[in-house]
Chains A and B, each alone.
Chain A
């Protein structure tokens, strides 16, 4: 993949800066040029249960903007990626709604065709760039590290629309971890929710979910946890302390984006990958490695 349009959504540019930094640092070196375009707005997903047509319109508009530039889309946020997948699925099956959405888009001179492809980092790295190419770029394999994989619910569900990996038994992230030299044990809580989606209304329940999963990861003896989702990262990394307090556990587990791990294995400077922005003790990973 030589060129791809970057669609960051809302959470990454407003809070999860490290994710963006690492993506911009790593992908070009793997041969994928990132293109920013003007105009994309919210993916619509948070409105999904209130107004489906509006959600479809917002996603269709984003897709149309990239389509106009002839660019495939990289949506590193699973929530945005799911919104795009769903919009394509719904609009392809419902010509009436597609027509309606296009009548709105016409005001901006846009048209939704739905021909452009869209990727998350998971399938971009695993299926498009491929593990062989990644391996060629590895300078410092992360040997000796056992990293827990956290996919994020929206990345793999629901299974009636196309998702980058299997809903019940996803394996691509584990494969990617092995590609950079790390191990990744199976753990029973692998597919458990991070709690992000009930954080606003049920803070304690949300942090309980976060805490339970982190505690399980810590008790299993993992060296760290890796995510592919800014929402999961926000819960497990940023809110690790309060999650620990909620479940009465002393949590001290490094949580790191996979793309940051990949960057480290490629020999990048931690600062360039935004590691200083992670709030969990990610420096522990480095010290373990040197042992």
Chain B
């Protein structure tokens, strides 16, 4: 016999200011099986918890309904409260009268109270059939996986490995380093990017607890928090990395030398078909690009392939094949980074019309001393020296036609480029910065901005309406300066577009593999925008860096350490308590058709060979509900969310 207590929270004025709580208490106390109803200003507070505990004792309550905010906020809080009072934590039902009621109906108080009554009545109807469930313990795998080896993945791996845990670091390029390796200097301190990054890359390479899997991709993830089974594809490099010592002679003699567009240099330089992405690469091992190697494409490279001839260590291996390996980890950190919006998608900015219109990342490679021009910025069309340069900020960001969001690094990176150009090329260079607002929000950023806005460079508040190439190849654009209300026509030798950061082009595929969610902008979605910035909707999978949204290096590193700490919180434990709200099969109803085995995405189902009926692997089942919907015989039941319970709730309101 259920003895139900109903506890109604005011949430200050959040609920109390809209819903008539006194009326709701009176209504609740008259419902069937309800023996006690009370309200309190903040039910989630300690005194609020005491109200519940005291009432459980005094009135011998055995089922509890808390009527407050979303269970996503405070279900664990109230579960602990009733557990303290000696009840099973699953004998709790919550009615959400804040997000689902008072917040959305704040101007319709009477109707809101009526709706709150319906919600409470439904919860009470369900509560009197709630079953006491028992959690069970499952073993935790103590290794971690980090996907992506840019600065975020590197930081997360080092933090995890330094605690003594084993880390697998998977990177799809031949070298770790990511975007940060492509940058010249970093704002606002002007540290040389590779000078601060390469020591960390070396730490990764040397760390006894890190197993580096470069030129590899995650293709499949099974299992759940504490025990993921991960398949990793190791792409063939056609060079035996055990033998290769990175001497680079093969790259010098390659027949495709200086003929292959260099992706690391954003296509501005050329490399060979056998290559390392950059000189500080980790590991410093050569890789053959199968789309460019004559031997791999046609089986013939002159009389004999020169790379093979020159390699004294015999490392070249054209027969190498793709390998699949399987990892078993307790937790996963995703740090896959970003792509840039294709500048050619924005026709009005003329990127496809002139080689002198370049992107910010291309500019990084041009001004970098390790770049294709050894740091000398000049016109790419005719090699002429530049006398003027224009930066176009927000080229595609904060723009309803392209990306609505702010890219968060464009302003500062352009200011940094302006500083470097002034430093390299002196006072006579004309620098124009076309901006929407300068967003210099980080530590030391505003101070840096003031240094650049020293009267020597032109700041024009607006965006070019159209960039045109003149007959002589020089660039010209019109821009309406909204701070002076003047239409300006500006000539420029080169123009640097600062396009927004966008999700990786295959991030949807990875989100499917990892069963994590993408936001409206396509970046991976965090569990809570403020309080759980590294968590995802899948327990045990954490996100760090620009795969979650655009951010600068300090924020990336902070988030990566945060994600590593979160992952540690799982893999450092011996056992995890598993959620008992999972599927169950009624053996009397099951006919053994096997539909549930097919639909289960977690491989948590199999048919018992003896009885022929379906069984649930309680460790693997996550309670997703797929089998419940699919079962044609109504034999699959979701514990404490049964069809009968839901029907009772619906009955209550119609």
A binds B: yes
Which residues does A use to contact B, with CB under 8 Å? 159, 166, 168-169, 188, 191
* Chain A residues with CB under 8 A of B401: 159
User: By the criterion CB–CB under 8 Å, are B469 and A168 in contact?
Assistant: no
* Chain B residues with CB under 8 A of A159: 401
* Chain A residues with CB under 8 A of B476: 188
Nearest CB in chain A: distance from B417 CB, A: 26
Interface residues of B in 456-474 (CB under 8 A from A): 466, 468-470
User: By the criterion CB–CB under 8 Å, are B347 and A168 in contact?
Assistant: yes
* Chain B residues with CB under 8 A of A169: 347
Nearest CB in chain B: distance from A156 CB, A: 12
* Chain A residues with CB under 8 A of B466: 191
Distance, CA A166 to CA B348, complexed state (A):
11
Which residues does B use to contact A, with CB under 8 Å? 346-348, 401, 466, 468-470, 476
Nearest CB in chain A: distance from B348 CB, A: 5
Nearest CB in chain B: distance from A254 CB, A: 22
Residue of B nearest to A188 (CB): B468
Distance, CA A191 to CA B478, complexed state (A):
13
Distance, CA A169 to CA B466, complexed state (A):
11
9 pairs of A and B residues whose beta carbons are closest in the complex: A188-B468, A169-B347, A168-B347, A168-B348, A159-B401, A188-B469, A191-B466, A188-B470, A166-B347
Dominant secondary structure of chain A at its interface with chain B: loop
Nearest CB in chain A: distance from B217 CB, A: 35
Distance, CA A166 to CA B346, complexed state (A):
11
Dominant secondary structure of chain B at its interface with chain A: mixed
Distance, CA A159 to CA B401, complexed state (A):
9
* Chain A residues with CB under 8 A of B468: 188
Distance, CA A166 to CA B469, complexed state (A):
20
Distance, CA A221 to CA B346, complexed state (A):
28
* Chain B residues with CB under 8 A of A191: 466
Nearest CB in chain B: distance from A278 CB, A: 29
Residue of B nearest to A187 (CB): B468
Residue of B nearest to A170 (CB): B347
Distance, CA A168 to CA B468, complexed state (A):
13
Distance, CA A190 to CA B476, complexed state (A):
15
Nearest CB in chain A: distance from B62 CB, A: 51
* Chain A residues with CB under 8 A of B469: 188
* Chain B residues with CB under 8 A of A166: 347
Nearest CB in chain A: distance from B542 CB, A: 38
- Beyond A166-B347, A168-B346, A188-B468, 8 extra complex contacts between A and B, CB < 8 Å: A159-B401, A168-B347, A168-B348, A169-B347, A188-B469, A188-B470, A188-B476, A191-B466
Q: List 11 A-B contacts (CB under 8 A).
A: A159-B401, A166-B347, A168-B346, A168-B347, A168-B348, A169-B347, A188-B468, A188-B469, A188-B470, A188-B476, A191-B466
* Chain B residues with CB under 8 A of A168: 346-348
Distance, CA A159 to CA B347, complexed state (A):
14
* Chain B residues with CB under 8 A of A188: 468-470, 476
Distance, CA A107 to CA B401, complexed state (A):
41
Distance, CA A184 to CA B401, complexed state (A):
28
Nearest CB in chain B: distance from A184 CB, A: 16
* Chain A residues with CB under 8 A of B470: 188
Nearest CB in chain A: distance from B134 CB, A: 53
* Chain A residues with CB under 8 A of B348: 168
Nearest CB in chain B: distance from A94 CB, A: 20
Nearest CB in chain B: distance from A191 CB, A: 7
Distance, CA A191 to CA B348, complexed state (A):
10
Residue of A nearest to B471 (CB): A220
Residue of A nearest to B348 (CB): A168
Nearest CB in chain B: distance from A169 CB, A: 4
Nearest CB in chain A: distance from B544 CB, A: 36
Residue of B nearest to A191 (CB): B466
Distance, CA A188 to CA B468, complexed state (A):
6
Distance, CA A160 to CA B469, complexed state (A):
27
Distance, CA A53 to CA B243, complexed state (A):
77
Nearest CB in chain B: distance from A263 CB, A: 31
Distance, CA A34 to CA B469, complexed state (A):
43
Residue of B nearest to A189 (CB): B468
Nearest CB in chain A: distance from B214 CB, A: 40
Distance, CA A183 to CA B27, complexed state (A):
81
Distance, CA A265 to CA B470, complexed state (A):
33
Distance, CA A166 to CA B401, complexed state (A):
12
Residue of B nearest to A168 (CB): B347
Residue of A nearest to B400 (CB): A160
Distance, CA A159 to CA B346, complexed state (A):
13
Residue of A nearest to B470 (CB): A188
Distance, CA A168 to CA B399, complexed state (A):
15
Residue of A nearest to B350 (CB): A188
Distance, CA A58 to CA B346, complexed state (A):
35
Distance, CA A159 to CA B348, complexed state (A):
13
Interface centre among A159, A166, A168, A191 (most CB of B within 10 A): A168
Residue of A nearest to B467 (CB): A188
Nearest CB in chain B: distance from A222 CB, A: 14
Distance, CA A197 to CA B346, complexed state (A):
27
* Chain A residues with CB under 8 A of B347: 166, 168-169
Distance, CA A188 to CA B472, complexed state (A):
13
Residue of A nearest to B468 (CB): A188
Nearest CB in chain B: distance from A205 CB, A: 12
Nearest CB in chain A: distance from B471 CB, A: 9
Distance, CA A168 to CA B469, complexed state (A):
15
Distance, CA A168 to CA B353, complexed state (A):
13
Distance, CA A117 to CA B466, complexed state (A):
33
Distance, CA A168 to CA B476, complexed state (A):
17
Distance, CA A69 to CA B466, complexed state (A):
44
Residue of B nearest to A166 (CB): B347
Distance, CA A169 to CA B469, complexed state (A):
15
Distance, CA A65 to CA B279, complexed state (A):
72
Residue of B nearest to A186 (CB): B353
Distance, CA A168 to CA B470, complexed state (A):
18
Distance, CA A188 to CA B469, complexed state (A):
7
Residue of A nearest to B353 (CB): A186
